[in-house]
Amino acid sequence: MGVERSTILGHTTAATVMTKETLYYDGACPLCAREMKHLAKLKRESLDLVDIHGVEITDEMPSKEELLLNLHLKRGNEWVVGADANVAAWQHTRFGALWAWLRWPVIKQLVDPVYAFWAKRRYEGLYGEFPSDAKTFESQDTK
């Protein structure tokens, strides 16, 4: 998101501008697919939803295992991961403010470990044990 300023009749106004972002999700996960179907109906054009199983993984992307473990949202050169990605994706709907409280510091300390635990269990239930050498649950900047 960015802020766009304009001057109209001598008054400066600021408007939030949504930049194009892409949310990568696991379409083989029934709960994930159901949420994405719902999100697809509500989202603005500023968000693309991409099923990981239908995309070619490039060197600039996290590994397929990492993408399958957690939601990943691509924002410019930044990767937003896990609950942060989920909340960021919902900001592209009129209901974004209803999700923002999940990022409040005290709540975030509770939500993030619960999300990480659930994501790992979900991954193991669908694909088996998560590779021990793969990264888990962190936002990162791409270079």
pLDDT at 140: 44
Helix (H/G/I), strand (E/B), else coil: 60:
coil
CA-CA-CA-CA torsion sign (128, 122, 40, 24):
negative
pLDDT at 137: 45
pLDDT at 136: 52
In tens digits, the chain (143 residues) has pLDDT values of: 554 554 555 555 445 566 899 999 999 999 999 999 999 999 999 999 999 999 999 999 999 999 999 999 999 999 999 999 999 999 999 999 999 999 999 999 999 999 999 999 999 999 999 877 665 544 444 43
**Predicted TM-score (pTM) of this structure:** 0.81
Residue 99, exposed/middle/buried by CB under 10 A (0-12, 13-18, 19+)?
A: middle
The phi and psi torsions of 32 (rounded to 5 degrees) equal -60, -45
Structure-token pair, residue 56: 């070619």
pLDDT at 131: 79
- Find where tokens 């044990």 sit: 129
Q: What confidence tens digit (pLDDT) does each residue in 62-100 have?
A: 999 999 999 999 999 999 999 999 999 999 999 999 999
| Domain limits, the chain | 21-141
pLDDT at 11: 52
